[in-house]
């Protein structure tokens, strides 16, 4: 009966249900509309400009021009005379990106999307294979077209456009699911608040009942896990059955990440409500702020932030729970094995255990202080 009451109380929390369920569904719908237009644009040549400085990377320049020829050219090269002219066209939306050929290859874009990701893939593929490409082109110039064809195939822009799109699209939906999982922190926050007699009227009434505080916490925690897991699974079902996002054979593994990610979010919410001081609204605002720091550091808003954090503080990058959730999802796309997937989940479970142990220790002290 007490467990059933906890379930109904969470399901009546409109704020939690909006941010954990309605908001992700609305956002994923906008994603789908935006990416659908990008998929249509994939079949059109991508307008780009090339700015050479000192004749650097002539081989890459040649490959870009080869990609602009043929019956279905991937690129449309817009001639420019200066970097300033190229940047003006880019800001005006007349071109998608600018390749600047200096000592290092640079790509400038003004927004994120499928076409921009394709340009980044072209640059990354050349950098990854630059030594091999240069050697082959020097010894056998006649093989340049074969190299271009191989790079073009590696980009794989046409695969699975009927709802799956490309791996890059799937990655954006994985990032959204990572955020949904960690929004369980709101449910966890309520779990902890409702057993602290000095803050919650409900907890004050419970404090005079014969039921032990830890038993109440376990009961509330179980209800929060069940509700948020169901909420997360509904989000996945909406993506698969309503929006038609095809996760392929990875769906069971995605559900496992959702479950572990929900545990991480809920345990984080419990920790924040337990260790932070002040009124309930101040604690919740602080938790929300810290959560958004996690989201940003994980690259959910801008991937460049994740790269900066990884470079400046790699340890912090590896213990950010949102990063671990996102990495577990992304590993299903990037890697051929599940080693990185299970590594991320194991670290995440360790963090969950740490959050819960610290929370339990603080709550036990609070119990003794209240008694």
* % residues pLDDT > 70 (the chain): 72
The band of 143, judged by pLDDT with boundaries at 50, 70 and 90, is low
pLDDT by residue (tens digit) across 232-282?
999 988 988 888 876 666 788 989 999 999 999 999 999 999 899 888 889
Provide the pLDDT confidence category of residue 135 given band limits of 50, 70 and 90.
low
| Average pLDDT over every residue of 284-303 | 86
Phi and psi, residue 119, nearest 5°:
-60, -40
- Per-residue model confidence as pLDDT tens digits over 346-357: 999 999 999 999
The 3-state secondary structure of the chain reads CHHHHHHHHHHCCHHHHHHHHHHHHHHHHHHHHHHHHHHHHHCCCEEEEEEECCCCCHHHHHHHHHCCCCCCCCEEECCCCCHHHHHHHHHCCCCCEEEEECCCEEEECCCCCHHHHHHHHHHHHHHHHHHHHHHHHHHCHHHHHHHHHHHHHHHCCCCCCCCCCCHHHHHHHHHHHHHHHHCCHHHHHHHHHCCCCCCCHHHHHHHCCCCCHHHHHHHHHHHHHHHHHHHHHHHHHHHHHHCCCCCHHHHHHHHHHHHHHHHHHHHHHHHHHHHCCCCHHHHHHHHHHHHHHHHHHCCCCCHHHHHHHHHHCHHHHHHCHHHHHHHHHHHHHHCCCCHHHHHHHHHHHHHHHHHHHHHHHHHHHHHHHHC
Whether 307 has a pLDDT exceeding 80, the answer reads no
pLDDT average, residue stretch 312-338: 84
Tell me what percent of the residues of the chain surpass a pLDDT of 90. Answer: 24
pLDDT attached to residue 80: 92
Say what the pTM is.
0.64
Q: Classify strands 46-52 and 97-101 as parallel, antiparallel or unpaired.
A: parallel
pLDDT at residue 184 is higher than 60: yes
- What integer is the mean pLDDT of 128-142? 62
Q: What is the pLDDT of residue 162?
A: 35
Contact 296, 182 (CB under 8 A): no
Per the model's pLDDT, the better-predicted residue between 40 and 77 turns out to be 77
Confidence check: pLDDT of 163 > 80 = no
The HSE-up count of residue 165 (CA atoms within 13 Å, CB side) is 27
């Amino acid at each position: 009966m007490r467990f059933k009451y906890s379930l109904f109380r969470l399901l009546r929390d409109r704020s939690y249900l909006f941010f954990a369920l309605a908001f992700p569904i609305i956002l994923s719908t906008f994603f789908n509309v935006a990416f659908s237009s990008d998929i249509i644009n994939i079949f059109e040549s991508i307008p780009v400009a090339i700015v050479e400085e000192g004749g650097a990377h002539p081989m890459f320049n040649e490959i870009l021009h080869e990609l602009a020829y043929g019956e279905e050219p991937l690129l449309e090269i817009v001639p420019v005379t200066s970097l300033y002219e190229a940047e003006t066209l880019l800001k005006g939306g007349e071109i998608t990106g600018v390749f600047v050929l200096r000592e290092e290859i640079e790509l400038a874009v003004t927004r994120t999307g499928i076409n921009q990701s394709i340009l980044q893939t072209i640059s990354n593929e050349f950098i990854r294979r630059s030594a091999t490409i240069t050697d082959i082109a020097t010894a056998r110039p006649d093989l340049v077209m074969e190299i271009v064809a191989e790079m073009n195939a590696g980009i794989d822009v046409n695969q699975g456009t009927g709802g799956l799109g490309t791996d890059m699209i799937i990655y954006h939906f994985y990032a959204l699911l990572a955020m949904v999982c960690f929004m369980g922190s709101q449910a966890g926050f309520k779990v902890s608040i409702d057993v602290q007699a000095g803050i919650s009227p409900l907890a004050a009434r419970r404090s005079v009942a014969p039921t032990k505080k830890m038993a109440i916490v376990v009961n509330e925690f179980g209800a929060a896990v069940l509700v948020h897991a169901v909420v997360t699974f509904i989000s996945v079902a909406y993506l698969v059955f309503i929006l038609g996002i095809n996760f392929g054979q990875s769906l069971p593994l995605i559900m496992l990440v959702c479950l572990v990610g929900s545990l991480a979010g809920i345990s984080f919410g419990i920790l924040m409500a337990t260790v932070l001081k002040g009124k309930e609204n101040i604690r919740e605002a602080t938790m929300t702020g810290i959560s958004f720091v996690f989201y940003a550091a994980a690259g959910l808003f801008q991937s460049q932030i994740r790269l900066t954090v990884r470079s400046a503080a790699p340890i912090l990058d590896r213990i950010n729970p949102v990063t671990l959730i996102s990495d577990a999802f992304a590993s299903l796309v990037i890697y051929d094995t599940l080693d990185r997937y299970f590594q991320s989940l194991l670290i995440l479970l360790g963090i969950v255990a740490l959050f819960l142990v610290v929370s339990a220790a603080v709550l036990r002290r609070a119990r003794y202080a209240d008694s």
